[in-house]
Amino acid sequence: MAFFVDADEVYKYLGGVFIASKETEVGPKLAGADLDLQINYSEPESTMVISMRGDNIDVALGEEKDDAEVKLFMPADIGDKYWRGEYNLAVGLAKGHVKAKGPVNKILKLVPLTKPLFPMYRELIADKDAAAA
């Protein structure tokens, strides 16, 4: 059974970590990537676009962007494991559990920048974890 019950939960937690990143020291570093990332989750179906441009991160929940430089495709449970620090994205891409369109090297350069956000995500998801226990 999937951890997230619906797209709203995916947006609240997996989208929420990107939204919250704007208020951290990591936000400007991510914004400096100068790319549009579209993440397509399954189980439940949900899509978001994270535009990282200049010094701004814009998160469009439930949106798609045809010309996004990088598109990732994965189950939402993999997104959850990644933000908990329990999933290696490079290995997931190599094994085909995560699919990508566009220059994957741009995403792999962002991975180290996201690690300081892992504790923030665990705090964000703590109430859901407690309810599931």
In a domain, 88, yes or no: yes
Mean pLDDT of the chain: 94
Per-residue model confidence (pLDDT) at position 63: 96
Structural domain includes residue 60:
yes
> Which pLDDT belongs to residue 55?
84
> Would you say residue 33 has pLDDT above 80?
yes
Q: What is the pLDDT of residue 2?
A: 85
Both tokens of residue 91?
């290995």
Q: Name the phi and psi angles at 103, rounded to 5.
A: -70, 100
Instruction: Work out the average pLDDT over 35-44.
Output: 97
Q: Is the pLDDT of residue 132 over 90?
A: no
Given this model, what pLDDT does residue 90 score?
Answer: 93
* CATH code where residue 47 lies: 3.30.1050.10
pLDDT of residue 9: 97
- DSSP class per residue in 18-64: HHHHTTSSHHHHHHTT-EEEEEEEETTTEEEEEEEETTEEEEEET--
Domain of residue 104, residue span: 7-132
Closest CA to 88 of 124, 70, 115: 115
pLDDT at 54: 87
d(CA 85, CA 79) in angstroms, rounded, equals 10
User: For residue 81, is it within any domain?
Assistant: yes
Distances (CA, A) of 52 to 28, 95, 124: 9, 27, 22
- The count of domains in the chain is 1
Does 1 reside within a domain? no
Taking residues 67-78, report their average pLDDT.
97
Output the pTM of the full model: 0.94
Which residues does 60 contact at the CB level (< 8 Å), separation at least 6? Answer: 48, 49, 50, 51
Structural domain includes residue 102: yes
Question: Is 2 within the bounds of a domain?
Answer: no
Say if residues 87 and 66 touch (Cβ distance below 8 Å). Answer: no
